[in-house]
Amino acid sequence: MAKITVDGVVYEVDPANNLLQECLSQGLDLPYFCWHPSLGSVGACRQCAVIQYRDAEDTQGTLVMSCMTPVTDGGIYSLAAEQASDFRADVIESLMTSHPHDCPVCEEGGECHLQDMTQMSGHNYRRFDKQKVTHRNQNLGPFINHEMNRCITCYRCVRFYDDYAGGTDLSAQASHHHTYFGRFEEGTLESEFSGNLVEVCPTGVFTDKPFSAQYTRKWDLQTAPSICNGCSVGCNITPGERYGTLRRVVNRYHNEINGYFLCDRGRFGAHYVNSESRLRSARDASGMSVSTTAIEERISEFTSEAVIGIGSPRASNEANFALRSFVGAENYFSGHSDAEHEALQVLIECLRDAAFHSPSVRQIEQADAILVLGEDVTNTAPRIALALRQSVRNEAKALAETSRIPNWQDAAVRELAQESLSPLAVFACGSTRLDDIATTKLNADQQTLIEASNALSERLAGRSPAYSQQTLGTTMQSVEATYTALMSAKKPLVICGTGAGAALMRCAANIARALSVSRSEVCDLVLLPKEDNSVGHALLTSKENTLSRALGRLANGEVKRAIVIENDLFERAPTALVKNALAAAELLVIDQIETPTQRYAALSIPSATFNECEVTKVNYEGRAQLSFQVGEGCDAAKPIERWLNVEGSAHSNSMIARCAAEASDFESLIDCLPDPLGRIAGLKVPRQSHRYSGRTAMHADRNVHEGKQPVDDNSVMSFSMEGMLTQKDSSVLASAWAPRWNSNQAISKFQAEINGELKQGHPGVHLIKRSLNGQAYEAENSVNKNLGDFEIRLVSHIFGSDTLSSHSPAIQKRLCDAYLALNKEDALELGLANGDFVSLGGAEDSIILPLIVRTQTPSGVALVYTGSSALGASINPHDLPESASLARVESEPSVHPTGLGLSNLVVNDAYSGAH
């Protein structure tokens, strides 16, 4: 700790940081633009000027940029000194010379850092009367608007997009007063993290396009703390609601998980809740609507005989638990595919194992040697891929440390490090979106990946591995390089996921275990499931209760009734199996969206979406988090637990309490509630800002009488402007706001220190206690495949491979058709070129897909993307053979083209050569 004096007041600060950051940590108001808590300092905007004094005698002082000034013990500074504040006012005046006066029509207005800083710096009268520089905007795709005239050239956008997120298609162009931030030419921004530009840009250059179409000012949005349901990372989000519809999603700071950034699936995928695909009313088998009372009666009678309940990884803990108690634990089955279920058993075993630790996203960023095995993280758990892009920079930070350059000196550290990266080994089948930062890439079929993993475990255990003849060269090199990297690292990390399959997950666990043994320490191991509550659902399901057993019992008539919650079984098991089972059963389906499963339902019942109820979910770490209701949405929809009307379901608090009391592993779930009594300091917490406008008039089109506000008995939150200010307790903070800080930068007022925990943070609870000392898994061996056949491997895409987000209209503009990919040589050998149709297996009813050449596909492997069910244009992945012969055919593909073709596909290895 160092002591500094700012304007006569003494503060204790961290000498490792710069002066700006420390001033903000102390709650001081000091304007800035180019500095960002996650991006560090470059000293580009000159907005953060302060006076630094040599010593107590020095009355003159020197002007310094606080973001570029390390704090020194005993340092004396002034923010208020006239030279400093004049300078800041002048800087902003010059930044504003070409800025349009369009706040009233600018979507940033009201939450604009530029507005805040302009006010704070005291520039309130425009003297510049010359012509302003204007720019042409680009169409940047379905997510992001571009309004370049508003740019103040702080360079944050490219520093985030290129430097931080590894994007390649946004750049700073031209120079001085006509600097331009855009693409080489119009077109969709390709980075999976483009949406963060909306929050990173301190002005209205980059704004949220789907939000524009249903725009509402920040202060008019009803918000509540929520959790993304796009994948298993569990990023914290703030959805905003107005007039009963979800308007947008923005980042909600969580220092251990998402920090300041989300991925585009999370940000733009949530709009599925407003989409045409919502199941908006209950209907029977003939499509006739059914009254609420009739449904309730039917449900209450339903257990008069045995009922099979099939749960879901996209339903909450409470919904799954309610179903389990409704049908009885023995009749409650996994809603995961059998393969996923098996993989999740490995995941849960590893979560219980004391040899491993499951690092948070923040901790992943600290890893200095990483092995990613078989998983294309960018497409399955995107926020973690963004974290990995920071971990590889630990080498740069280490270099900087030896050169005594502080880490926050962003430009200097990058300049010093050039291309040096911390080791990242990617062992995968085909190209992944992290290949550009991989220092070791083993690109191979399943057999080789297993062999390499076994070899690596052997090597780590101090034995000499056996390699087969054909893989000896590259495999051995990759294994050796990875071995050295993991062993010499300070914080090694192994990542795998259910996308890679149970076999590779066991391999990953073996590698981590060998590492843990030989280093005599707990090893970081991340195993990623696919969906937001995969872990919660798997914890509630017994290991034996697989989906295929449930389907079997229904098909053979052993049990005649079934309830399926929030699940489309045609994504989970082979079509024939599902059809047989469902056709034989009397089926109730409760879901948020319409799915093909509902064609077999006697009753389809609408359930509440994530923003319409208060529930908990468990992320990949085993961390349970609470997600509050944001607003009222679909009238007919209720949370599943309330439809099932099980004991305790009337209130979410009591449901959570019951789940905690009865479900093993869920004891600490109760701690997710900020206060089980539903009050904080005796008050409810408003979902509406103190500036919320038009409340008395918002429904006047329907009724001139002001309606009663909905009452929320469930929660510490209320549908109101009154109550305890969230500003006082950040455990329930949805939208950061502080006097003079209307933009998202206000978050610094709620952090214990910049980039630190929220003052009253509520990080969620880790459910699983690690106690076991597990054993290594049997070494995996071979894959069965006929000679000449191609191994079929599934690939995921950030847009399309997730059910709910694929129903979002914005995401749908980014989807692409199902495809099969081969490398150039294999395609050539089969006489195939881009755009041809290929049949798998050659039988009459075999699956036919369009071909795309992806150059990195290992030979003998066919990668298949099964398309998006949301467009009704997917094949059931469980209908695919494990291997197949391929042949060119003239007939139509099995999946009707969506009209989107493959033009939206963003991969690193698409072959652009002529046919």
Partner 1 sequence: MQQHVIASSSTNARLRARDLTAEEIAEIEHELTLYPTKQAVGLEALKIVQRHQGWVSDESMLAIADYLSVPVSELEGVATFFNLIFRRPVGDKVILFCDSVSCWIMGCDKVKKRLSEHLGIDYGETSAGGEYTLIPVPCLGDCDKAPVMMVGEKMHRNLSCESIDSLLPLSNAEGSK
Stretch that binds partner 1, among 24-32, 174-182, 531-539, 787-795 (CB under 8 A): 174-182
* Residue among 799, 255, 227 at smallest CA distance from 532: 227
| SS3 of residue 220 by DSSP | helix
- Closest CB to partner 1 among residues 130, 404: 130
- What are the Cα distances from residue 10, in Å, to 51, 71, 811? 16, 13, 51
| Minimum distance, C-beta of residue 158 to ligand SF4, in the bound complex (Å) | 7
Location of structure tokens 């990023």: 235
Location of structure tokens 């349901």: 229
- The verdict on 834 binding partner 1 (CB under 8 A) reads yes
- Closest CB to ligand FES among residues 50, 673: 50
Contacts with partner 1, 879-908, as mask; x by CB under 8 A: -------------x----x---xxxxxxx-
Q: Which of 187, 707, 842, 872 binds partner 1 (CB under 8 A)?
A: 187
Contact by Cβ (8 Å): 775, 354: no
Contact by Cβ (8 Å): 835, 849: no
Contacts with ligand FES, 63-92, as mask; x by CB under 6 A: --x-x-------------------------
- The verdict on 32 binding ligand FES (CB under 6 A) reads yes
- Closest CB to ligand FES among residues 48, 795: 48
Q: Sign (positive/negative) of CA torsion 213, 218, 220, 222?
A: positive
- Which residues 166-185 are close enough to bind ligand SF4 by CB under 6 A? 181
- The verdict on 43 binding ligand FES (CB under 6 A) reads yes
User: Which residue type does 349 have?
Assistant: E
Stretch that binds ligand FES, among 42-50, 118-126, 617-625, 870-878 (CB under 6 A): 42-50
- The verdict on 156 binding ligand FES (CB under 6 A) reads no
Q: 366 touches which of partner 1, ligand FES, ligand SF4, none (CB within 5 to 8 A by kind)?
A: none
The whole-angstrom separation of Cα 252 and Cα 233 is 14
Give me Rg for the CA atoms of the chain.
Answer: 28
- The verdict on 741 binding ligand FES (CB under 6 A) reads no
Contacts of 702 (CB under 8 A, 6+ apart): none
Token duo for residue 338 = 């059998």
Residue 9: exposure state from Cβ atoms within 10 A (0-12, 13-18, ≥19): exposed
- Closest CB to ligand SF4 among residues 233, 434: 233
Stretch that binds ligand SF4, among 381-389, 451-459, 675-683, 870-878 (CB under 6 A): 381-389
Contact by Cβ (8 Å): 715, 652: yes
Q: 761 touches which of ligand FES, ligand SF4, partner 1, none (CB within 5 to 8 A by kind)?
A: none
Token duo for residue 389 = 């892009």
Q: 45 touches which of ligand FES, ligand SF4, partner 1, none (CB within 5 to 8 A by kind)?
A: ligand FES
Token duo for residue 220 = 């008019």
> How many H helices and E strands in the chain?
25, 37
- The verdict on 48 binding ligand FES (CB under 6 A) reads yes
Beta strand spans in 498-560 (E): 523-528
For 452, the enclosing helix (H) or strand (E) is helix 446-460
| Minimum distance, C-beta of residue 187 to partner 1, in the bound complex (Å) | 4
- The verdict on 155 binding ligand SF4 (CB under 6 A) reads yes
| SS3 of residue 468 by DSSP | coil
Token duo for residue 95 = 């930044």
Contact by Cβ (8 Å): 336, 537: yes
Give Cα 214 to chain centroid, integer Å.
23
Contact by Cβ (8 Å): 801, 380: yes
- Closest CB to partner 1 among residues 470, 912: 912
- Closest CB to ligand SF4 among residues 355, 528: 528
Stretch that binds partner 1, among 161-169, 270-278, 368-376, 577-585 (CB under 8 A): 161-169
- Closest CB to ligand FES among residues 116, 879: 116
- Closest CB to ligand FES among residues 179, 760: 179
- Closest CB to ligand SF4 among residues 197, 489: 197
Q: Which of 209, 383, 617, 642 binds ligand SF4 (CB under 6 A)?
A: 383
- Closest CB to ligand FES among residues 35, 777: 35
Q: 736 touches which of ligand FES, ligand SF4, partner 1, none (CB within 5 to 8 A by kind)?
A: none
The whole-angstrom separation of Cα 88 and Cα 654 is 54
Q: Which of 6, 19, 44, 343 binds ligand FES (CB under 6 A)?
A: 44
- The verdict on 180 binding partner 1 (CB under 8 A) reads yes
The whole-angstrom separation of Cα 234 and Cα 362 is 13
Contact by Cβ (8 Å): 60, 97: no
Q: Which of 23, 151, 323, 636 binds ligand SF4 (CB under 6 A)?
A: 151
Q: 301 touches which of ligand FES, ligand SF4, partner 1, none (CB within 5 to 8 A by kind)?
A: none
Q: Which of 81, 205, 221, 861 binds ligand SF4 (CB under 6 A)?
A: 205
Q: Sign (positive/negative) of CA torsion 644, 645, 647, 649?
A: positive
State the DSSP string of 548-577: HHHHHHHHTTS--EEEEES--GGGTS-HHH
* Residue among 694, 691, 720, 703 at smallest CA distance from 631: 720
Residues in the chain: 915
Contacts with ligand FES, residue ranges (CB under 6 A): 20, 32-35, 43-48, 65, 67
Contacts with partner 1, residue ranges (CB under 8 A): 162, 168-175, 180, 183-185, 187-188, 190, 418-419, 817, 819, 834-835, 850-852, 854, 892, 897, 901-907, 910, 912
